[in-house]
């Protein structure tokens, strides 16, 4: 167990070693138990987290804000449009100044080619930890919550368990690519065999793909790709099917929509889920396009663990904050 995480940033999934992630999970399980029993756990009394949002959120905002209050501190919700950022405040100024006011800075910025750099520039100038509440490349807290949920449902020994990370159709908007990218980086380190399923135009970042393949090799797990959703689902123990934009093919919204609309049959329904292992769990980070991306029957069905996933955001975030912001 690595216990000295004080002052550390979490921007990319691999910023924490496997052993450090295990520490986070240990603490998260303990905090979940404490909350269930009503035991106080005010490890961050008088500490304040800045939560800077450049993009909307339901779960991330709610869970960070509630988490800080439960740890005895406070979270300040700041929307970028209500700040002076558009009038000239730079990342460096923000990191330096907020680092003097706050004990941690959490940022959501998913703009293509901008978000991840923004976070890293703030972190460089900040004296306090910087947390990635989702950028265009990574969504590390979502993936920690996903890992916690998988361990709860499938046990700690995940070797030889098959996880399919599949693209799914959506009509609402071209969703960020950060969730599948973070999944393929984190999950091999915990022993899962991965299959990535997507139509040809929905490839992930080639650098992430190479890293994922290297990590799988190092971990003794498998990593395969398919352009057939049903093949991907076959015999899977964990089905994680969500939409993302064809961002490595085009970033033009209209062209992207045309490509996306070719694959309306990439919906997770009971029939496809039936080809997975009978005890398979269905995962989605939410929000989902109901009856477009996934049917109500699957999303609200017995195999769905989406509400546990959403709950575990709270516990893993509290664990990271308690370990880093002390």
Residue 136 vs residues 6, 168, 226, 244: alpha-carbon distances, Å = 26, 18, 23, 11
Residues 6+ apart with CB under 8 A from 87: none
Separation CA 219–CA 222 (nearest Å): 9
As measured in angstroms, the least distance from the Cβ of 320 to ligand CP is 15
Residues 193-252 contacting ligand CP, CB under 6 A: none
Site string for ligand CP, 112-141 (x = CB under 6 A): ----------------------x-------
Residue 307 vs residues 145, 236, 273, 286, 313: alpha-carbon distances, Å = 11, 20, 18, 9, 10
- When binding is defined by CB under 6 A, the residue of 286, 289, 308, 311 that contacts ligand CP is 286
As measured in angstroms, the least distance from the Cβ of 64 to ligand CP is 9
Site string for ligand CP, 37-76 (x = CB under 6 A): --------------------xxxx----------------
304, β-bridge pairs: 282
The residue count for binding ligand CP (CB under 6 A) is 8
As measured in angstroms, the least distance from the Cβ of 46 to ligand CP is 26
As measured in angstroms, the least distance from the Cβ of 133 to ligand CP is 7
Residues 138-177 contacting ligand CP, CB under 6 A: 142
Q: Which residue is nearest to ligand CP (CB)?
A: 60
When the beta carbons of 56 and 84 are compared against ligand CP, the nearer one is 56
As measured in angstroms, the least distance from the Cβ of 88 to ligand CP is 28
Q: Which helix (H) or strand (E) holds 192?
A: none
Sheet holding 130-135, edge to edge: 74-79, 48-53, 104-109, 130-135
Separation CA 52–CA 104 (nearest Å): 11
Binding site for ligand CP (CB under 6 A): 57-60, 134, 142, 285-286
């Amino acid at each position: 167990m690595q216990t000295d995480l004080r002052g550390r940033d979490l921007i990319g999934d691999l910023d924490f070693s496997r052993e450090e992630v295990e520490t986070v999970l240990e603490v998260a399980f303990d905090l979940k138990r404490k909350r269930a029993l009503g035991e106080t756990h005010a490890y961050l009394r008088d500490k304040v987290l800045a939560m800077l949002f450049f993009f909307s959120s339901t779960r991330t905002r709610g869970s960070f804000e509630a988490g800080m209050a439960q740890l005895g501190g406070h979270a300040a919700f700041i929307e970028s449009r209500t700040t002076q950022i558009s009038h000239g405040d730079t990342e460096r100024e923000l990191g330096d100044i907020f680092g003097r006011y706050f004990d941690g800075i959490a940022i959501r910025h998913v703009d293509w080619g901008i978000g991840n750099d923004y976070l890293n520039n703030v972190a460089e100038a900040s004296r306090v930890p910087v947390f990635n509440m989702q950028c265009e490349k990574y969504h590390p807290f979502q993936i920690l919550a996903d890992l916690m949920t998988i361990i709860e449902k499938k046990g700690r020994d995940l070797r030889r368990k098959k996880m399919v990370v599949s693209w799914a159709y959506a009509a609402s908007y071209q969703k960020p690519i950060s969730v599948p990218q973070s999944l393929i980086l984190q999950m091999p380190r915990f022993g899962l065999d991965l299959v990535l399923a997507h139509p040809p135009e929905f490839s992930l970042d080639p650098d992430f793909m190479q890293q994922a393949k290297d990590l799988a090799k190092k971990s003794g797990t498998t990593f395969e790709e398919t352009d057939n959703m049903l093949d991907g689902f076959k015999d899977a123990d964990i089905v994680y099917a969500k939409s993302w934009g064809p961002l490595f093919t085009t970033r033009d919204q209209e062209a992207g929509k045309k490509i996306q609309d070719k694959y309306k049959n990439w919906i997770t329904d009971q029939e496809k889920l039936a080809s997975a292992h009978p005890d398979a769990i269905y995962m989605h980070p939410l929000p989902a396009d109901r009856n477009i991306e996934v049917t109500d029957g699957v999303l609200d069905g017995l195999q769905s663990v989406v509400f546990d996933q959403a709950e575990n955001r709270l516990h893993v975030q509290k664990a990271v904050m308690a370990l880093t912001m002390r």
